[in-house]
Chains A and B, each alone.
Chain A
Amino acid sequence: MANRYQLELFVVAHSTKAQRAEHNLRRLCDAKLAGQYDLRITDVLEDADAAEAANIVATPSLVRRAPLPVRVVVGDLSRRDTLIYALGLEGDESDADRNPNDE
């Protein structure tokens, strides 16, 4: 599907912040982007090269590679409103399947 969300979450595996970030992200995406997103989780301690390539400084960091523009959301994603804004998911549940770029 052309407009799938491509997301990568950089974390320190098994850390509290990692668990919180993944939980917050999945809860939002499952509600708003069910079946329309790919999420990859990268442990920066295991794969520092991937963090280097993506210029990741802070953990957790969520990179939205698609749709463009690329956005980086830093933190444990506990600020739900900021996360919704950052991912471009403003609007109510019924709009969830709309392409955000149409707005």
Chain B
Amino acid sequence: MNDVRRSMEKLSTGMAGFDTIGFGGLPKGRSTLLSGTAGSAKTVFAMQFLVKGTELGENGVFVTFEETPADLRRNMLSFGWDCARLEEEHRLAFVDASPRPEEERIEAGAFDFAALVARIEACVRRTGARRVVLDSIGAMFSQFKDPAAVRRELYRISAALKKLDVTAIVTSERTEDYGAISRHGMEEFVADNVVLLRNTLEEEKRRRTIEILKFRGTDHQKGEYPFVVSDEGVVVIPLSSIQLRQKSTTLRIASGSDELDAMCGGGFFRDSIILVSGATGTGKTLMVTAFMAGGIAKGERCLAFCFEESRQQFFRNAAGWGFDFEQLERDGKLKVVTDYPEIMPLENHLIRMKRIIEEFKPDRVAIDSLSALERNSTTRSFREFVISLTAFVKDQEMAGLFTSTTPSLLGGTSVTEAHISSICDSIILLRYVEVYGEMRRALTVLKMRGSAHDKEIREFNIDGSGMHLGKAFRNVTGILAGNPTQLAMAPEELDRFHEMFPHD
């Protein structure tokens, strides 16, 4: 009975994203097989488990079968993990079972791993470790000739770990990302819990995912979750869990245009995501500028990520509409981050953007544009990025305004929208309209979750003082379809026509 209850207990790994998909962490007092192809970040994950453990006051033992402790100490410094210091403080210890190149090892008869078990036990007792890593046991099959003996002896180690009541990660190689769990049938060795790391090539882009295949006797999130290896180690992006806890508010905030506020029934909602879609030149960046300026005017902190324009361009445009963004940034009210989407994978952009948001703590966040980021990713990563970022923004009780560039000048939708329109709370369309040999701009609020809104397609003008909404295009149809047609009707007739279909 006691044993059954204990098996349900989880140990926080100290890696937030992983703990979320593991419903609290790894099964406590058990061994978990961590399997992945070469370069899938097994060693980084395993070491992070120990380093995070030391931060939680739990010491760790790293048993290395492949890399020398000296190599590991050096490699892990790039994540800011100072193994040597942790060793001096007796919080981390290595058991070195890596082959020594200067020594020749010859087999001459029956053997067991009692020596290794004795070393692990002594090290765990000496450091009082609660966490143990074995990395990677596949190496034992190349160090010793008899695979049956190695398998039997690894089972002995597994039993010893259980007796020590430590939570262990045992890494193992796979030859394929979708195939046998591990190369030497090691799932039989620690079959209770299996976690898979994948590093696949998709649409010419690398994609890392983590999957908890099983936790015996206890629940976990199913399926693959993206992760990145950043300068702070493995960061798991737990998608579905963050979708679940979205709050909502009836608090309204100013869009930066009184006319647009009126169309939206009194402004945007705080904790909402607004998508602004339009072709190039329709005024998306102006909407972003107005959204930022409107927030700052109300004493809110604003953050803009620009992936299409340089800082200078963005500031110059704002100055053209009468906003001194450079000064506002110096005052700490505004922060503008400009980057090329191509400088890093989308997953890394996500981690970085989240970090900037957490540091700056803005009330409003704008991204100009999502389409630019989409260029640099696979369809799936892009969708995950948007889901994760929107959930994060809402969770922080911020308003987000994201722009999306449509590929065709007249009408049309972008691929971006197909993936994110359902995630956004409000959608504003900016379109070109050809009227009697002249290009005019149109704006319509397509969707406003939780509120009534103006459903007219209004004329949208840009001048030196910013954006202005004019009258509805009553005598033009087919604007949104990208096929505007003039109606030859007298104004009185049009008014009558519109009265037949009253707005709600």
- Which A residues lie at the B interface, using CB under 8 A? 10, 12, 15, 17, 20-21, 24, 44-45, 48-49, 51-52, 55-61, 69-79, 82-83, 85-86
Q: Is B425 an interface residue (CB 8 A)?
A: no
A82–B104 CA distance with the chains assembled, in angstroms:
13
Q: Is B121 an interface residue (CB 8 A)?
A: yes
B197 CB, min distance to chain A CBs, angstroms: 26
A96 CB, min distance to chain B CBs, angstroms: 19
Contact of A55 with B106 at beta-carbon distance under 8 Å, contacts A17-B112, A49-B122, A76-B111 already known: no
B-side contacts of A75, CB under 8 Å: 107-111
Interface residues of B in 65-111 (CB under 8 A from A): 95-98, 100, 102-111
Q: Is B321 an interface residue (CB 8 A)?
A: no
B103 touches A57 (CB 8 A): no
A83–B163 CA distance with the chains assembled, in angstroms:
35
A39 CB, min distance to chain B CBs, angstroms: 16
B111 touches A78 (CB 8 A): no
B115 touches A51 (CB 8 A): yes
Contact of A74 with B105 at beta-carbon distance under 8 Å, contacts A17-B110, A55-B97, A55-B100 already known: yes
B-side contacts of A73, CB under 8 Å: 105-108
B363 CB, min distance to chain A CBs, angstroms: 56
B-side contacts of A78, CB under 8 Å: 108-110
Contact of A51 with B106 at beta-carbon distance under 8 Å, contacts A44-B114, A57-B113, A59-B113 already known: no
A-side contacts of B108, CB under 8 Å: 73-79, 82-83, 86
A44 touches B102 (CB 8 A): no
A12–B153 CA distance with the chains assembled, in angstroms:
15
B122 touches A57 (CB 8 A): no
Q: Is B116 an interface residue (CB 8 A)?
A: yes
A24–B153 CA distance with the chains assembled, in angstroms:
23
User: How many interface contacts (CB-CB < 8 Å) are there between A and B?
Assistant: 111
**Interface 0/1 of B133-150, CB less than 8 Å to A:** 000000010011000000
B456 CB, min distance to chain A CBs, angstroms: 78
A44 touches B115 (CB 8 A): yes
A61–B110 CA distance with the chains assembled, in angstroms:
10
B428 CB, min distance to chain A CBs, angstroms: 66
B106 touches A48 (CB 8 A): no
**Interface 0/1 of B147-166, CB less than 8 Å to A:** 00000010000000000000
* Closest residue on chain A to residue B100 by CB atoms: A55
A89 CB, min distance to chain B CBs, angstroms: 13
Closest 3 CB pairs of A and B: A75-B109, A48-B122, A76-B109
Query: Which listed residue, A20, A45, A51, A69, touches B103 by the CB 8 Å rule?
Result: A69
Q: Is B474 an interface residue (CB 8 A)?
A: no
Query: Which listed residue, B104, B109, B116, touches A57 by the CB 8 Å rule?
Result: B116
A-side contacts of B114, CB under 8 Å: 12, 15, 44-45, 59
Contact of A82 with B116 at beta-carbon distance under 8 Å, contacts A49-B122, A55-B97, A55-B100 already known: no
B-side contacts of A15, CB under 8 Å: 114
B109 touches A61 (CB 8 A): no
7 pairs, A vs B, C-beta closer than 8 Å:
A45-B118, A51-B115, A58-B113, A60-B111, A71-B106, A74-B109, A82-B107
* Closest residue on chain A to residue B145 by CB atoms: A74
Q: Is B119 an interface residue (CB 8 A)?
A: yes
* Closest residue on chain A to residue B65 by CB atoms: A57
